[in-house]
Amino acid sequence: MASGGGMEVEVRVVGGARSCFVALPLHLIEALSRTSASGDLPPVLALDLRAAAGARWSLAWSGAASRSRAIEVAQELAECISLPDGTIAQLSVAHSLTRADSVSIEPFSEDDWEILESRADLAEETILQQVGIVYEGMKFPLWLDGHNIVKFVVVSSSPKKSVVQLVPGTEVAVAPKKRKEKYQDVQKQGSLKEQVETKALLRVQAADRKYTHKFKSKGIELGVVLSYAVLIHPDTAARTSFGNLQLVTISSKSSPKGLTEQGKEAGQKKGVAVPKRTREVVVYC
């Protein structure tokens, strides 16, 4: 239930703060205390800010007092939730918050995950110290090891409420975020490997004259024979998994023409290896 509405406040974005909890000016803390039946404020307050243009932000306060008459917000948090410095908004406070049983979060980027990868348990511990409330889709920073800042996104929470409070008993699950390009590279390498291993045993015939390009130059008729290409029927190409304009390597299955058994024996006696004739050509289907 929200109360304390109608109080106009100013937001000041500050550097050097190391928490997602905001700091409230003393006059605002006193005003909020007067609205409480007991005169005391709970350890964590959920603050709702609404700008005149309709923008809305959810923040948490845990007792810190600002040095000015404005609400002070850590620069990193302000960037995550797109809260501009100098924002003028109406403030309301939720005195009763639903406590979260569990929260699932994931690093905002692959770079954030690489910083966190070996210390996911540290994030689970730190979030309870630096973050008071969360909601689905919320982006927020955590300050780890005194100098590393890792940004997260809330994936889900239980129970499913608009805003839930993190308490010592809340279970926090951190999901990994792997680099997509690495996964795509592995897929690409696997695809290339499959292409390299694709083989087919086909009978090759010499192209006839209809594939000879004829033209005249200075009154002399010339003919250019199509070379470095293999023409395959579309059905054969589909059956053997060859694609149009695919670069392939062909090699003869039988012995090269003109090489006799006597020549083979002579080469073997002299220790000379008989090279296997291969050629790279383009497939036309």
pLDDT in tens, 152-199: 999 999 999 889 999 999 999 998 887 666 555 555 565 555 555 566
Helices (H), 47-151: 75-81, 110-116, 120-130
The token pair at 172 is 């926090």
% pLDDT > 90, the chain: 44
Domain with CATH 3.10.330.10 in the chain: 99-180
Q: Per-residue pLDDT for 211 more than 90?
A: no
Cβ neighbourhood burial of 216 (10 Å; 0-12, 13-18, 19+):
exposed
Name the CATH code of domain 99-180 (choices 3.40.50.620, 1.10.40.60, 3.10.330.10, 3.40.50.300): 3.10.330.10
Domain with CATH 2.40.40.20 in the chain: 2-96
Res 85: pLDDT: 98
Res 63: pLDDT: 94
The token pair at 198 is 């694709």
- Report the alpha-carbon distance of residue 265 to residue 259 in Å, rounded: 10
pLDDT tens string 41-99: 889 999 999 999 999 999 999 999 999 999 999 999 999 999 999 999 999 998 678 99
Q: Which residues contact 130 (CB under 8 A, 6 or more apart)?
A: 18, 19, 20, 21, 142, 143
Which residue type occupies 69? Answer: R
User: How many beta carbons lie within 10 A of that of residue 226, not counting itself?
Assistant: 12
Arithmetic mean of pLDDT, 119-135: 88
- Report the alpha-carbon distance of residue 144 to residue 93 in Å, rounded: 29
Evaluate whether the domain defined by 2-96 bears CATH number 2.40.40.20: yes
- Report the alpha-carbon distance of residue 278 to residue 285 in Å, rounded: 21
Bin 129: left if φ > 0, else alpha if -120 < ψ < 50, else beta. alpha
Q: Which residue has the higher pLDDT, 183 or 14?
A: 14
Among 104-113, 212-221, 260-269, name the one with the lowest average pLDDT: 260-269
pTM comes to: 0.62
Exposure letters 143-173 (e unless 16+ CB within 10 A, then b): bbeeeeebbbbbeebeeeeebbbbeeebebe
Q: Per-residue pLDDT for 252 more than 60?
A: yes
